[in-house]
Structures are given as structure tokens and as C-alpha cells.
Amino acid sequence: MRLRLSQKTTVSILAGLLILAAPGSSAAESLAGNKGDIRFYPTLAGNPKDPCTKTYNAYVAASGHSAYATTFYSRVVDISIICGARLNAPSQKAAEDLALRNCQSGLKKWKVRLASGGCQIALSK
């Protein structure tokens, strides 16, 4: 129980830092409210206070090039979802690379092994 609680706390802190660390956008056209390229729909908890849900909502609200990466979720085997995002990056490719790195660093930090594999880019704009 403590491990699960500390993971949620750490994910919450990281999600907040990701949101605060995003630089201002220099895009000519605002991408706010746009989901962008959808590769797969991420599994989100119904709780609006969940760190991955907050990160997803920040991604949708971002006005510049952004990406949202997450792990696949298998209800039978996996008990956690790790996610990462990069908001308002200089380009879509840079946002994807950094979002993927953020998600992968979460897997390494918490030493999580998932049956469904590693992180993948779910959404990108």
C-alpha cells in the first residue's frame, strides 16, 4: 500500500513539474484544445486528480507543439500506468522525443516492469 501511495505522489509531483517546466510557445497558430495526431487512446483514470489525467488535460490545453506518452495498460497484469508529456516544444518531433524520455525515466525511477511493454507516444501535435 505504501509503495502504491508513494508512486502516486511521485507521479503527481513529476506531472506538476512537467507543466511548470514548459517554455512559452512561439507557434503562429494556437493548438490549444486540439488533440493532434492520435496513435492510440490512452487509458485514463476517471479521477480528475490522477497525475496522468492532469498531464493529459494539460497536453490538450497546450497551445504549442506537444506530445503525450504513456504505457499500455493490461487490466490482468499491470497495476500502474506511467505517463510523460512535453508541452510547447519548438517542434512536434522534439516534443515526442522529450515526452518519450520523460515516460521512460519514470519506468527506470520506479523500477516498474510492465507486461504490456514500455512507453509509446499516444498523442502528438
Cα-based distances in Å from 32 to 4, 45, 111:
33, 22, 34
Whether 65 is covered by a domain: the verdict is yes
Give Cα separations from 16 to 10, 57, 105, 125 (angstroms): 10, 12, 16, 20
How many C-beta atoms lie closer than 10 Å to residue 2's C-beta? 6
Does the residue 15 lie in any domain?
yes
Quick check: is 31 in a domain? no
pLDDT at 61: 96
Give domain status of residue 29, yes or no: no
Closest CA to 79 of 54, 107, 112: 112
63 lies in some domain:
yes
> What domain range is 40 assigned to?
2-22+36-124
Residue 30 within any structural domain of the chain = no
The one-digit pLDDT tens for each residue of the chain (125 residues) are 555 556 666 556 555 544 545 554 444 578 999 999 999 999 888 899 999 999 999 999 999 999 999 998 766 556 788 999 999 999 999 999 999 999 999 989 988 777 677 899 999 99
The count of domains in the chain is 1
Whether 112 is covered by a domain: the verdict is: yes
The distance from CA 61 to its chain's CA centroid, rounded to whole angstroms, is: 13
Among 108, 50, 117, 104, smallest CA distance to 77 is for: 117
